[in-house]
Amino acid sequence: MDHFTAVDGTLHCEGVNLETIAQEVGTPVYVYSTATLRRHARVFREALSGAGRVHLAFAIKANPNLAVLRVLAQEGYGADVVSGGEMARALAAGIPASEIVFSGVGKTRRELSAALDAGIGQFNLELEEEGEVLGAMAHARGLRAPATLRVNPDVDAGTHAKISTGRKENKFGVDIDRAVEMYGRLAEQDGLSMRGVAIHIGSQLFDLAPLEAAFLRVGALIAELRKFGHFISRVDLGGGLGVPYKAGDNPPSPADYGAMVARVTQDWDVELMFEPGRLLTANAGALLTEVVWVKPGAVNPYVIVDAAMNDLARPAMYDAWHDFEAVRPSGARMTANIAGPVCESGDTFAMGREIDRVSSGDLAIFRSAGAYGATMASTYNSRALVPEVLVDGDRYAVVADRILPETIFAAERVPEWLLE
């Protein structure tokens, strides 16, 4: 459920007419619904109410906008970060350092050092050497870094190859079969306080079975670790729950996921940590765009919109589907291709799709664009960096400015020797 609905024939986000936003902010622009963000945050928390003491850390790579982070922080969410930049954002949004988890396969020494200085709550280690380096850094500061070991359970999550992370050929985590010995060595590091294990097997998961299989492997692993005398107090089960993008999509409900988690983990006697990303924000956002031209095509016309692959990369990257709807639909329909202005054939949002009939100047939205949308935007083709708006009831605010090409190239320099 989201809050992008028609009022008197015109799409609104909560109480704000999307035509007003287009007029005042321009297009393309991302629009987020606070009510939807809060609702998703609460539904997920509620779904896990049978799973004991849980920590919730929003995977902020899905949508790192400071205002979005602020809403989720108010809902009691910490942050799962994968770079120093994301850590800085989480702190700037007011998320306490103790509620920040640092994930990621390529944390640099500089990033580890900054995270230690910030006092973040948990490091998810991806390889043994990382643990040694972090342990030495912490020891030199007279600290013990709280850490878990991310294991790779070798399950096929059944999702798109580019967002599958839990197979042994993927770059993430350590081989679960080698985790016990490695954990033993890490637990001996003076500068580390090993708390348990972490997994994250992929994104946009539509099947609970691989998640359950992975969790069962983790359950066996913690029993084994305890046999060796290790103190296991925390297990991080990652994120990955899928969301519906189109009619007929039927991902597992948060409630079914929560029930499975409660059943599988009931004897674990640990604090559980979750890192939802897409689930919280995907359907809380839409990309508002204007039709530039309707261009006749060989089979179907091309609806050329002013949003492009640099603003919303998912269709070009993952062949992803985003529903397309006119802001003021007439009721008539057409079959069309939808594409942006960027000079790549990959800058295509849909082919041969039945959509609301639109013509030049009409406004439309791509739905479900609140996760892995603005965060992946670039300025390719020297287009502006897309702005973001947050709606709350009948008020809205621009929460990220449109950054113009002039501002971006002001940071570039032509060296002296070329100026003659």
Residues in contact with ligand PLP by the rule CB under 6 A: 59, 61-62, 80, 82, 103, 200, 203, 238-240, 275-279
Which two structure tokens, joined as six digits, stand for 105? 């396969």
Is 278 marked as binding a ligand?
yes
Nearer to ligand PLP, 79 or 327 (CB): 79
Annotated catalytic residue, options 247, 343, 414, 418: 343
CB of 120 to ligand PLP, least distance (A): 14
Nearer to ligand PLP, 101 or 304 (CB): 101
Is 318 marked as binding a ligand?
yes
Is 38 marked as binding a ligand?
no
**Residue among 46, 53, 110 nearest 84 (CA):** 110
Nearer to ligand PLP, 89 or 383 (CB): 89
Count Cβ atoms within 10 A of the Cβ of residue 144 and give its class: 0-12 exposed, 13-18 middle, 19 or more buried. middle
CB of 348 to ligand PLP, least distance (A): 24
CB of 107 to ligand PLP, least distance (A): 12
- Residue 222 to residue 390: CA distance in whole angstroms: 42
- Collect all residues with Cβ–Cβ distance below 8 Å to 81 and sequence separation of at least 6: 60, 61, 87, 89, 90, 100, 101, 102, 103, 104
Q: Give the residue nearest to ligand PLP (CB).
A: 277
The string over 79-113, giving b where at least 16 C-beta atoms fall within 10 Å of a residue's C-beta and e elsewhere, is: bbbbbbebbebbbebebebebbbbbbeebeeebbb
- Residue 384 to residue 166: CA distance in whole angstroms: 36
Is 275 marked as binding a ligand?
yes
- Residue 15 to residue 10: CA distance in whole angstroms: 11
* Helical segments of 153-253, H only: 179-187, 208-227
Please identify which residue in the block is written with the tokens 């948990």: 122
- Collect all residues with Cβ–Cβ distance below 8 Å to 85 and sequence separation of at least 6: none
Q: Is the dihedral of CA 27, 370, 397, 391 positive or negative?
A: positive
CB of 80 to ligand PLP, least distance (A): 5
Nearer to ligand PLP, 27 or 203 (CB): 203
Which residues in 14-120 belong to E strands, given as ranges? 16-17, 29-33, 54-59, 78-81, 100-102
As a whole number of Å, the CA-based R_g of the chain is 23
The string over 289-305, giving b where at least 16 C-beta atoms fall within 10 Å of a residue's C-beta and e elsewhere, is: bbbbebeeeeebbbbbb
Nearer to ligand PLP, 20 or 108 (CB): 108
CB of 239 to ligand PLP, least distance (A): 3
Q: Which amino acid is at 226?
A: R
CB of 25 to ligand PLP, least distance (A): 27
Nearer to ligand PLP, 196 or 240 (CB): 240
343 is catalytic: yes
CB of 45 to ligand PLP, least distance (A): 15
Is 277 marked as binding a ligand?
yes
Query: How many Cβ atoms from other residues are within 10 Å of residue 318's Cβ?
Result: 16
Nearer to ligand PLP, 164 or 337 (CB): 164
Is 219 marked as binding a ligand?
no
Which two structure tokens, joined as six digits, stand for 341? 């202005």
Is 240 marked as binding a ligand?
yes
Could you tell me the maximum CA-CA distance found in the chain, to the nearest angstrom? 74
Angle (nearest 5°) at CA 161 between 159 and 162: 110
Q: Which residues are catalytically annotated?
A: 343
- Which residues are known binding-site members? 240, 275-278, 314, 318, 344, 372
- Which residues are known binding-site members for pyridoxal 5'-phosphate? 240, 275-278, 372
- Which residues are known binding-site members for substrate? 278, 314, 318, 344, 372
